């Protein structure tokens, strides 16, 4: 497993002074799955609760302590004017801001609306579209404020979340992998679904971190962790075509959880390779 | 079937070079299906774990087995660049398949291996080195190239000044039952890249599955005293000469099946650092690292350190790394092999070139795993061939 080197983030001062740092968990446009990953850490949750002061976490507790907060975990994407203003306020109140999940780091599935007829969608979906105020786009948190650390995935990996909290609490360097899912797939000795079954898989262009979850259930990777460090999207597209996938199906596969990330990379790579 | 074997054995008694009525040690024995069951039961009683080929998830893999019933009877596979398919043969052959993705590396140099744990105690840090246990393992199904790869890997891990204790312990506990290749995959090229499809050393016991017109039999030979004592305890019949002739015939016909070869100038051309072909292959390569993971001799590792939430404990685990990772070449200012071309070049030039300088041989045994398990089917023999062509011809 390969990692980015020590994450360049400033540790909250309160940790240096031996106090329990305060933690806030915020939600924007999302399904709550990433916050639930934190609640899912049953065995470890007591240890977390013992080391941090959970100051704001509506999903888990009614206690709401005013900021500022040492660490804010932010789930979800920005889809309304109100949220665009709220994230600015949260940033002001947070020493460290960590985005969690594909919505917060890449806009999420809801970013499929970007560049499409959003008014048209609302009029089809809602009985009273006039009550809906929404932006035309779903954008990642980093498009609005400075983000100190991103935890990717849909949902995030609870192991990565715990490692991040442990590194923050103990002032330990955090290294998250930036290589392909294939590395984890081979390490857990899963049989490659692409080579052995002909199942389309985004593992080779997707960042590791999930432990190659989908291939271990005989499914191709959906790319929910977003692009790995050097994704060769055009080469994977060629191979997916050889496996019998039509162009539109390849587009759909690439654009589900990280709607624009893979497509933009692909375009850059195509441009770079074009003979000048 | 029984009668037929007796008749064949009868032929043998008059042939002193193979038979041993005069108390000479036997060199070749015959096993039939029932004997194979007895043999595996014996291994189960002798070793902590018996690992053998199993058809699982559409692939023949090396996995712990309980009995001969777990073997991939009636299965074979079809391999191509970037493709593997499990097929049924409609026969009772158990070993009529080409290599799967697992090599002995997964056992002696596992993907994750604990190094130490650390804990705080009365203000001091206490380090507990990981114990690697003394599990003994019999592995059925190693091929000639696997044995050779194990030798190569062993030189990298224990051949120099610093010995890897985990490797040494795992190797020590290994008992190897080699199976001669009867159906090499079209991705294999061990005849030009390695030693060839027949195991000639490095095994405790070696078995040829013989697809004889009169029925399937297993010809057994031994390479160590331990292997001999196990086989002798089964009281098998000596192999008749006709079987050995049939075996020679089977091997000769296999040798004609190899369609790939590693160009002879491989060690030289992979050092052409500025060759434009590196950019060509980089356009196809995903830098995914599947090739180094399945390669039976790639040994590179990284350390994964995890600190407990309480800050009182930490663990260090050694994990497989790959030169296709950016972080792999991270020196002071950052990674220095950032381009995919530089990373592909590192893999090929180390494996086939500088491995000679480092360990006195090539790092490739011609198993073809990297060709089959590359998701986009990059074939190193073809890349070496392109590197050997004059530059103009590549353009
Ligand atoms: S199944 Fe997907 S992630 Fe796993 S090795 Fe194959 S291509 Fe990579
Ligand atoms: S380089 Fe490829 S063919 Fe050679 S030993 Fe490694 S996996 Fe096998
Ligand atoms: S080819 Fe790469 S991964 Fe394999 S041993 Fe050499 S440097 Fe390590
Ligand atoms: S050669 Fe194939 S297996 Fe190796 S890194 Fe490139 S795409 Fe992956």
Interface residue B203 vs chain A (CB under 8 A): no
pLDDT band at A5 (very low <50, low <70, confident <90, very high): very low
First to last CA, chain B: 62
B86 contacts in A (CB within 8 Å)? 196
Residue A261: is its pLDDT beyond 50? yes
B309 contacts in A (CB within 8 Å)? 44, 47-48, 51, 162, 165-166, 169
**Residue ranges per domain, chain A?**
4-176, 178-273
Cβ-nearest to A191 among B58, B311, B325: B58
pLDDT in the model for residue A12: 66
Residue nearest to atom 5 of ligand 3 (CA): B298
pLDDT in the model for residue A16: 65
Please say whether the dihedral angle defined by the alpha carbons of residues B244, B249, B250 and B256, taken in this order, is positive or negative: positive
Cβ-nearest to B304 among A1, A5, A238: A1
Backbone angles phi, psi at A222, to 5 degrees: -95, 0
Interface residue B319 vs chain A (CB under 8 A): yes
pLDDT in the model for residue B238: 96
Token digits for A47? 């240890």
Contact across the interface for A239 and B82, Cβ inside 8 Å: yes
pLDDT in the model for residue B20: 47
- Distance between CA atoms of B183 and B315, rounded to whole angstroms? 44
pLDDT in the model for residue B220: 97
Cβ-nearest to B309 among A169, A188, A232: A169
* pLDDT tens profile B133-162: 889 999 999 999 999 999 999 999 998 888
**Gap from A61 CA to chain B (nearest CA, Å):** 21
**Gap from A191 CA to chain B (nearest CA, Å):** 7
- Distance between CA atoms of A263 and A233, rounded to whole angstroms? 8
Cβ of B290 less than 6 Å from ligand 1: yes
Interface residue B56 vs chain A (CB under 8 A): yes
Token digits for A207? 């960042």
- Distance between CA atoms of A90 and A88, rounded to whole angstroms? 5
pLDDT in the model for residue A216: 97
Q: Looking at residues A227-254, what average pLDDT do you find? A: 95
Q: Is A206 strand, coil or helix?
A: strand
A1 contacts in B (CB within 8 Å)? 302, 304, 319-321
- Distance between CA atoms of A111 and A226, rounded to whole angstroms? 14
Contact across the interface for B375 and A5, Cβ inside 8 Å: no
Residue A204: is its pLDDT beyond 90? yes
pLDDT in the model for residue A11: 64
pLDDT in the model for residue B22: 53
Residue A119: is its pLDDT beyond 90? no
Q: Are strands A53-56 and A22-27 parallel, antiparallel or unpaired?
A: parallel
A256 touches A107 (CB < 8 A) = no
> What pairs with residue B331 in β-bridges?
B334
Give A 213-232 residues with CB within 8 A of chain B: 218, 229-232
CA of B17 to the centre of ligand 1 (A): 52
Cβ-nearest to A51 among B287, B309, B322: B309
Q: Is A156 strand, coil or helix?
A: strand
* pLDDT tens profile A7-48: 445 666 666 666 788 899 999 999 999 998 888 887 887 777
Kindly identify the ligand whose nearest atom is closest to the C-alpha of B188: 2
pLDDT in the model for residue A272: 85
What is the DSSP code (8-state) at residue A7? -
* pLDDT tens profile B238-257: 999 999 999 998 888 887 77
* pLDDT tens profile B358-392: 999 999 999 999 999 999 999 999 999 999 998 76
Using H for helix, E for strand and C for coil, what is the string for chain B?
Answer: CHHHHHHHHHHHCCCCCCCCCCCCCCCCEEECHHHHHHHHHHHHHHCCEEEEEEEECCEEEEEECCCHHHCCCCEEEEEECCEEEEEECCCCCCCCCCCCCCCCHHHHCCCEEEEEEEEEECCEEEEEECCCCCCCEEEEEECHHHHHHHHHHHHHHHCCCCCCHHHHHHHHCEEEEEECCCCCCCCCCHHHHCCCCCCCCCCCEEEEEEEECCEEEEEEEECCHHHHHHHHCCCCEECCHHHHHHHHHHHHHHHCCCCCCCCCCHHHHCCCCCCCHHHHHHHHCCCCCHHHHHCCCCCCEEEEEEECCCCCEEEEEEEECCCCCCHHHEECCEECCCCHHHHHHHHHHHHHHHHHHHHCCCCCCCCCHHHHCCCCCCCHHHHHHHHHCCHHHHC
Q: Are strands B59-64 and B49-56 parallel, antiparallel or unpaired?
A: antiparallel
For chain A, give the mean pLDDT: 88
CA of B379 to the centre of ligand 1 (A): 18
- Distance between CA atoms of B358 and B342, rounded to whole angstroms? 20
**Gap from A214 CA to chain B (nearest CA, Å):** 14
> What pairs with residue B304 in β-bridges?
B317
Interface residue A196 vs chain B (CB under 8 A): yes
Q: Which residues of chain B have pLDDT under 50?
A: 1-21, 394-395
Interface residue B276 vs chain A (CB under 8 A): no
Please say whether the dihedral angle defined by the alpha carbons of residues B15, B20, B26 and B27, taken in this order, is positive or negative: negative
Give A 172-191 residues with CB within 8 A of chain B: 172, 175, 178-180, 182-183, 186-191
Contact across the interface for A189 and B294, Cβ inside 8 Å: no
Token digits for B200? 């000639």
Half-sphere exposure of B110 (CA within 13 A, CB side): 14
- Distance between CA atoms of A204 and A262, rounded to whole angstroms? 12
A102 touches A26 (CB < 8 A) = no
Top CATH class of A4-176 equals alpha beta
- Distance between CA atoms of B318 and B303, rounded to whole angstroms? 5
- Distance between CA atoms of A100 and A157, rounded to whole angstroms? 10
Residue nearest to atom 7 of ligand 3 (CA): B323
Task: Residue B36: name the closest of B197, B177, B246, B212 by CA.
Answer: B177
Interface residue B310 vs chain A (CB under 8 A): yes
């Amino acid at each position: 497993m390969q990692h980015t080197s020590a994450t360049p983030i400033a540790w909250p001062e309160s940790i240096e002074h031996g106090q329990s740092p305060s933690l806030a968990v915020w939600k924007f446009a999302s399904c709550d799955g990433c916050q639930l990953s934190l609640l899912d850490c049953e065995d470890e949750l007591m240890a977390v609760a013992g080391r941090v002061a959970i100051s704001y976490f509506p999903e888990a507790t009614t206690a709401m302590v005013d900021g500022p907060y040492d660490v804010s975990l932010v789930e979800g994407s920005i889809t309304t004017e109100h949220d665009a203003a709220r994230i600015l306020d949260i940033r002001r109140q947070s020493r460290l801001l960590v985005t969690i999940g594909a919505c917060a780091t890449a806009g999420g599935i809801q970013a499929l609306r970007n560049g499409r007829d959003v008014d048209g969608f609302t009029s089809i979906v809602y009985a009273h579209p006039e009550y809906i105020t929404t932006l035309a786009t779903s954008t990642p948190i980093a498009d609005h404020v400075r983000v100190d650390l991103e935890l990717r995935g849909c949902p995030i990996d609870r192991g990565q979340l715990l490692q991040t909290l442990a590194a923050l609490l103990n002032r330990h360097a955090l290294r998250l992998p930036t290589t392909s899912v294939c590395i984890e797939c081979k390490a857990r000795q899963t049989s490659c679904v692409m080579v052995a079954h002909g199942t389309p898989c985004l593992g080779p262009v997707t960042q590791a971190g999930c432990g190659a979850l989908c291939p271990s259930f005989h499914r191709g990777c959906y790319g929910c962790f977003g692009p790995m460090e050097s994704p060769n999207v055009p080469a994977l597209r060629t191979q997916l075509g050889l496996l019998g996938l039509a162009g539109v199906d390849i587009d759909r596969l690439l654009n589900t959880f990280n709607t624009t990330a893979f497509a933009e990379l692909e375009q850059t790579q195509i441009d770079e390779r074009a003979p000048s | 079937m029984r009668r037929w074997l007796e008749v064949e054995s009868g032929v043998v008694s008059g042939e002193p070079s193979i038979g041993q009525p005069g108390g000479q040690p036997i060199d070749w024995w015959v096993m039939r299906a029932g004997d194979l069951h007895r043999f595996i039961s014996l291994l189960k009683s002798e070793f902590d774990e018996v690992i053998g080929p199993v058809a699982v998830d559409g692939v023949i893999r090396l996995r712990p087995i309980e009995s001969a019933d777990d073997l991939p009877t009636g299965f074979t596979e079809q391999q191509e660049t970037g493709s593997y398919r499990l097929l049924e043969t409609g026969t009772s052959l158990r070993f009529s398949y080409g290599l799967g993705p697992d090599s002995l590396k997964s056992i002696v140099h596992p993907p994750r291996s604990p190094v130490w744990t650390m804990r705080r105690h009365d203000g001091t840090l206490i380090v507990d080195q990981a114990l690697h246990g003394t599990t003994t393992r019999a592995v059925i199904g190693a091929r000639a190239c696997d044995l050779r790869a194990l030798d190569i890997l062993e030189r990298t891990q224990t051949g120099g000044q610093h010995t890897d204790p985990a490797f040494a312990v795992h190797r020590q506990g290994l008992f190897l039952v080699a199976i001669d290749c009867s159906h090499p995959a079209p991705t294999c090229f061990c005849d030009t890249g390695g030693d060839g499809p027949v195991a000639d050393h490095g095994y405790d016991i070696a078995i040829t599955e013989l697809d004889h017109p009169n029925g399937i039999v297993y010809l057994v030979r031994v390479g160590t005293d331990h292997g001999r004592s196990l086989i002798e305890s089964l009281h098998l019949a000596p192999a008749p000469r006709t079987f050995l002739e049939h075996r020679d015939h089977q091997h000769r016909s296999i040798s004609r099946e190899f369609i790939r070869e590693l160009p002879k100038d491989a060690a030289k051309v992979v050092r052409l650092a500025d060759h434009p072909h590196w950019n060509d292959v980089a356009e196809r390569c995903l830098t995914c690292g599947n090739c180094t993971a399945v390669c039976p001799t790639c040994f590179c590792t990284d350390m994964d350190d995890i600190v407990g939430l309480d800050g009182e404990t930490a663990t260090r685990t050694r994990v497989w790394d790959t030169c296709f990772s950016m972080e792999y070449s991270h020196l002071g200012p950052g990674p220095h092999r950032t381009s995919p071309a530089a990373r592909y070049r590192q893999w090929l030039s180390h494996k086939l070139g500088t491995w000679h300088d480092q360990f006195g041989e090539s790092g490739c045994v011609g198993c073809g795993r990297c060709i089959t398990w590359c998701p986009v089917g990059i074939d190193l023999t073809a890349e070496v061939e392109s590197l050997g062509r004059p530059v103009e011809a590549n353009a």
